[in-house]
Structures are given as structure tokens and as C-alpha cells.
Homo-oligomer: A and B are copies of this chain.
Amino acid sequence: VSVVARRCVVIGTGMIGASLAAAAKQAGVVGHVVGVGRSSANLETARRRGLVDAVSQDPLTAVVDADLVVLATPADSAVDMLGALAAAAPPGAVFTDVGSVKEPIMDAARSCGLESRFVGGHPIAGGTTSGAEGADAALFRARTVVLTSTDSTDPTAIARVRSLWEAVGARIVESSAGRHDQLLALTSHLPQFVVFALCAAVARAAEAPSAFFGSGFQDTTRLATSDHEMWLAIARLNRGPLVDRMDAFADVWTSLRKAVADGDDALLLAILREARIGKERSKT
């Protein structure tokens, strides 16, 4: 195992950031790992659990001698703070992130002169826990991580970020940022908004006793309590692709409603068969 970074700074020690820090330490691919966050309680949890070697509440000081900077804050904060971090870090430091939307952060990297050293990352892994308390060094095993780069990205920067994720067990898929954002709007953001709408419809209806909700509803709506801040940021950062997917969903909904209202079994069956095809496509 070759060392990917001697001094790795993880900005944001939530569930994803702290899990990556711990997994990379466990795999022996990073030397010293500093976790940076705002909440001293969460940082203390990260240190107590041994997920990081040191903690800091000051990102600009923490990155001064970093050779790898991982942004694991909410995606909009990462976009906002990248310029200042780039200015504070050594000129050779490689940057990566874990955000769910990739075009805005790739654009920010280009704007602040980081294009050759910034490799976008998005682990398609999540959970119902949050914070360093929910961190798990095994979180990324057999999970997909999408890496995004441009023609200007230094191949050695890509190789280092790839090595980091491979060392923690992830499967790497490379993509352009634009294609990533189009695809995730379909595979992740649309389902999340469908769940939000379904549960909001339940709230707006005259109250139904909880006994009438079965396990099907519970599974379908597991995502309903996902973090609001995160999803406001995703909606803002991936607006165009998400609105397109929402409109496409509305078209399907209109057909389905028509099939039910008209008692059109042929149309209804055709949509149910499409649903089976869509579900099959999603299976790895």
C-alpha cells in the first residue's frame, strides 16, 4: 500500500468525512489526518473514537502544510470556501470533495486556479446516521465513488484520489461533472423529491391513523427525514437537471392518472411494465 498523503486534512467531520478519515487511516494510505469542523463536540467525538489524529476549528490554518485536502462539508459550503482554502494550502496540494453535485464545485475549482489539482468525488453511499458518532470505516466497501475531472486535471492528482478511494474498498467510476449531475438528478435527487412530495401529501390529507400505514409505505419513504439543509443545497446547485427530471416524472404521472381514471388496463399495464424495466436497470 503506497501512501496517498502524508498530511491529509478533512474539512467537515460529519458521517461521510469522518468515515473516510477513519477508513483511510485504517488502510494505512494517509499519514497524519486532521479533522476540521465547527462543532467542538463533534470534533471531540471524532478524536475520542480515533477517526482522526488531530482536530481543528480553523480550516485555513489546518491546510497550511496539507498535501491532500478533502472537502466533506455540505456541497454549497464547499463551493463557498474553496477559494480561501486554495490560497491557504501549499501550491502542490491535491483537493477533492464528496459532494452530491459536481458542476458547481468543478467550476469553483477552475475559478480559483485549482483546475489541475482538483478531482471531484461523490461516494454513492449514505445512511440514516449523521455526525462523527455515526462514522463507519467500512462505509465505502463495495460502494460506487464517481470521480470527475477535466482535460486540465493532472493525471497524478486523479491517480492519488483514485488510490485513496480504492484503498477504502470503493469501486471507481469516472464521469464528466455534467453527466454525473444529469444522472444523479434521475437516480438520487428525483427519488428524494418524490418521497418528500408523497409524505407532504400525507400531511395535507385528513389524518389517517398510523395503523393504516404498512411496511410498504415505511420502506418507500425511508428518505423522508433526510437533512433539509443538504437537500436545499442540492436543489439549488442542480436546479436545471432536477427540474427536467421532475417534468419527466410529471408526464409519467399524468399518463398513469389517465390510465387509472379511464380504466385503461392496457395503458396501465404498459406503465407497470416500464416500471419493472426501470427497476431492473437500477440493479447492480
Which A residues are closer than 8 A to B by beta carbons? 124-126, 144, 146, 171, 173, 183-184, 186-188, 190-205, 207-225, 228, 231-232, 235-236, 239, 242-243, 245-250, 252-254, 256-257, 259-261, 263, 265, 268-269, 271-279, 281-284
Contact = CB atoms under 8 A, between A and B. Distances in A.
A219 B223 CA distance: 9
Contact of A282 (B221, B247, B261, B274): B221
A71 to B, nearest CB: 20
Contacts of A124: 211-214
A241 B199 CA distance: 17
Nearest to A215: B126
The SS class assigned to the A binding surface is: helix
A203 B281 contact: yes
Given A184-B212, A188-B217, A199 B274 contact: yes
Given A193-B260, A217-B191, A260-B193, A204 B274 contact: yes
Contacts of A195: 220, 275
Contacts of A276: 199, 224-225
A220 B220 contact: yes
A144 B215 contact: no
Contacts of A205: 186, 245, 248
A221 to B, nearest CB: 6
Given A200-B256, A203-B274, A204-B252, 11 more contacts: A124-B212, A173-B209, A183-B208, A188-B217, A190-B198, A194-B220, A203-B277, A219-B220, A220-B221, A246-B253, A250-B253
